[in-house]
Amino acid sequence: MNPESRKRALRYLFQKVIDPLGYKFSPDEELVDFLLEQEVKLEQKHGITYCPCQGITKKREDNMKIVCPCIPFHRKHYDAMKRCWCGLYVHKDVTNPDELRQIPFDEIKRG
Amino acid sequence: MKVFMYTLSTCPWRRKTKQFFKERNVKFDFVDYDLAGDEEQEKILEDMLKHTSNTTFPFVIIGKEVVVGYNPERYLELLKKGGKK
């Protein structure tokens, strides 16, 4: 499958997962396109659509938590930011993703 | 003020973070974690996990302070603290 077709397929598949979780694709189409392209490349390299903004380690259990869409593994963190870490997904009520910040989970835990 | 960052070549916030410092004429060094060799990746993780519990990028060190994520307000605050106008 060529990269463009794979991007479209991923978008279709991911939509089905994120919708019931209360998330949608970011309205920033350029960002979404870039991130999906990176995921296709990561999938070609590793066989898995890892998050483009989280590091793959040698610990399989940790790596499984960064497989896109990784929302279920980081629910508290992402709900607090109203977005996922890389910004591919945002809460359904978000209209301007530029207002949202990446906040490290340690800060959210501290409150 | 010394600025250093660990980044991922696949992450769009890498470009934005670099752009932030370039626009302010702040020199920085960086290493792309995903493009590093196994041994270097281990060292990077060891370094990062001293400051954070996740392997989330970008990971920026400004002076002695660590900022995890793209956070222009915090970058600016730390640059000002370090004397950059």
Nearest to B10 among A42, A85, A101 (CB): A42
Q: What is the pLDDT of residue B84?
A: 67
A108 or A34, which is more confident? A34
Q: Is residue A59 scored above 70 in pLDDT?
A: yes
CA–CA separation, A4 and A10 (whole Å): 10
Q: Which residues of A touch B69 (CB under 8 A)?
A: 85, 101-104
Instruction: Work out the mean pLDDT of chain B and round it to a whole number.
Output: 95
Number of structural domains (chain B) is 1
**pTM across the whole model:** 0.94
Nearest to B12 among A34, A57, A105 (CB): A34
| Whether domain A3-110 has CATH 3.40.50.2300 | no
ipTM of the complex: 0.93
- Looking up tokens 């483009």 gives A52
Instruction: Work out the mean pLDDT of chain A and round it to a whole number.
Output: 96
Question: Residue B76's domain is classified under what CATH number?
Answer: 3.40.30.10
Those residues of chain A whose CB sits closer than 8 Å to some CB in chain B are 31, 34-35, 38, 41-42, 52-57, 62, 66, 85-87, 101-106
Q: Which of A34-38, A61-65, A104-108, B33-37 has the lowest mean pLDDT?
A: A104-108
Q: Say whether the peptide bond before residue B58 is cis (omega within 30 degrees of 0).
A: yes
| B36 at A interface, C-beta within 8 A | no
Q: Is residue A58 scored above 90 in pLDDT?
A: yes
Q: Is residue A53 scored above 70 in pLDDT?
A: yes
CA distances to A45, A80, A105, B79 from A109, in Å: 33, 10, 6, 26
φ/ψ of B71, rounded to 5, equals -140, 80
